[in-house]
């Protein structure tokens, strides 16, 4: 049974909170340092009234203890002191917006609707409910996020490059006293540059060139940030989507378009053909 007290939309956590670092469960403590504590073990009734951040719930003690290796099971094991509010409800100092979803899983294994999966996942991390975490990771959108993160794990310095985009855009916007800034970003999957004239010889040159020849092809495109190369089936457009998704998750409005290729002359008929994208960051 759930009885909600007044709560504003600002009390609810947004889905972008899923991109935050994992939080460690807090150890329950007394509300006041000088308050006299009851002798352990603490006794709990079979039907437990709860106050979670100002939202009221009622459940069985066995439900809270359903999985041994969870924070809730530890809290209501009798080994820790749980403070109560003025009405005698056991108080948990945590936002209660998604606690009902936690209880529904403990009661009957029910999973939240898709739009609440990320937020409930964060709460499941806090309460260390492993079975719920496993179930949520196997459904969308978290299942797709695991695949995406596996791809990004192959991308060297991906997070550092994202931070560089943000810092450069912020600095340029402030210097120009504008709400937006433009950057040049290179995104390339293959390290070997090619030209339309040399495509038939691409594979042989890639694997048979000497070490001295290799150095002739090494260069840095004249851009603000460069992503690549990487070894994966995912292509340039997949990485661009990841970049825009991660920037948008941080509240940053970004538009991008391809404005050409590097076209820097390297050797003989070889020119760098890495694509160059213009990113527009709006603050």
d(CA 205, CA 198): 9
Q: Is residue 130 part of a domain?
A: yes
Radius of gyration of the chain (CA): 27
pLDDT tier at 267, thresholds 50, 70, 90: confident
157 and 135 in a single domain? The answer is no
183 and 275 in a single domain? The answer is yes
Instruction: Report residue 31 as tokens.
Output: 């509300």
Domain carrying residue 245: 153-197+218-282
61 and 177 in a single domain? The answer is no
167 and 191 in a single domain? The answer is yes
108 and 225 in a single domain? The answer is no
Q: Is 165 helix (H, G, I), strand (E, B) or coil?
A: helix
pLDDT digits 0-9 by tens, 180-195 = 999 999 998 876 655 5
> What average pLDDT does range 27-50 have in this prediction?
67
Q: Is the pLDDT of residue 95 over 70?
A: yes
Q: Is the pLDDT of residue 14 over 80?
A: no
Q: Is residue 12 part of a domain?
A: no
Q: Is the pLDDT of residue 23 over 90?
A: no
Q: Give the number of other CB atoms < 10 A from CB of residue 71.
A: 21
pLDDT for the residue numbered 269: 76
The total domain count for the chain is: 2
pLDDT for the residue numbered 12: 43
103 and 59 in a single domain? The answer is yes
Q: Is residue 164 part of a domain?
A: yes
d(CA 152, CA 234): 10
Q: Is residue 205 part of a domain?
A: no
pLDDT tier at 5, thresholds 50, 70, 90: very low
- Higher confidence at residue 124 or residue 202? 124
Q: Is residue 115 part of a domain?
A: yes
pLDDT digits 0-9 by tens, 134-174 = 999 999 999 888 888 998 988 889 999 999 999 999 999 99
pLDDT for the residue numbered 205: 43
91 and 159 in a single domain? The answer is no
Q: Is the pLDDT of residue 25 over 90?
A: no
Full-model pTM: 0.60
- Higher confidence at residue 205 or residue 235? 235
Q: Say which CATH number the domain at 68 has.
A: 3.30.710.10
162 and 278 in a single domain? The answer is yes
Q: Is residue 258 part of a domain?
A: yes
Polymer length in residues for the chain: 283
158 and 273 in a single domain? The answer is yes
Place of tokens 């990487």: 230
């Amino acid at each position: 049974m759930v009885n909600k007290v007044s709560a504003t939309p600002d009390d609810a956590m947004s889905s972008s909170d899923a991109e935050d670092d994992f939080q460690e469960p807090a150890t329950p403590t007394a509300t006041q340092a000088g308050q006299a504590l009851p002798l352990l073990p603490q006794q709990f009734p079979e039907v437990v009234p709860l106050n979670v951040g100002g939202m009221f719930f009622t459940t069985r003690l066995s439900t809270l203890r359903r999985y041994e290796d969870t924070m809730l099971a530890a809290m209501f094991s009798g080994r820790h002191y749980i403070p109560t509010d003025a009405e005698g409800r056991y108080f948990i100092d945590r936002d209660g917006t998604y606690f009902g979803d936690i209880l529904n899983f403990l009661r009957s294994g029910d999973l939240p609707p898709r739009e609440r999966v990320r937020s409930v996942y964060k709460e499941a991390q806090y309460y260390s409910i492993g079975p719920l975490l496993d179930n949520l990771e196997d459904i969308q959108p978290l299942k797709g996020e695991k695949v995406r993160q596996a791809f990004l794990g192959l991308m060297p310095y991906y997070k550092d490059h994202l931070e560089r985009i943000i810092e450069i855009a912020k600095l340029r916007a402030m210097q120009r006293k504008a709400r937006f800034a433009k950057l040049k970003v290179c995104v390339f999957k293959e390290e070997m540059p090619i030209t339309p004239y040399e495509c038939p010889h691409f594979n042989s040159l890639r694997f048979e060139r000497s070490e001295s020849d290799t150095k002739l092809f090494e260069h840095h495109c004249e851009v603000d940030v460069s992503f690549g190369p990487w070894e994966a089936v995912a292509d340039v457009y997949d990485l661009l989507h990841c970049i825009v998704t991660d920037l948008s998750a941080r509240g940053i409005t970004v538009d991008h378009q391809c404005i050409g290729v590097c076209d820097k002359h390297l050797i003989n008929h070889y020119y760098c053909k890495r694509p160059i994208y213009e990113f527009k960051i709006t603050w």
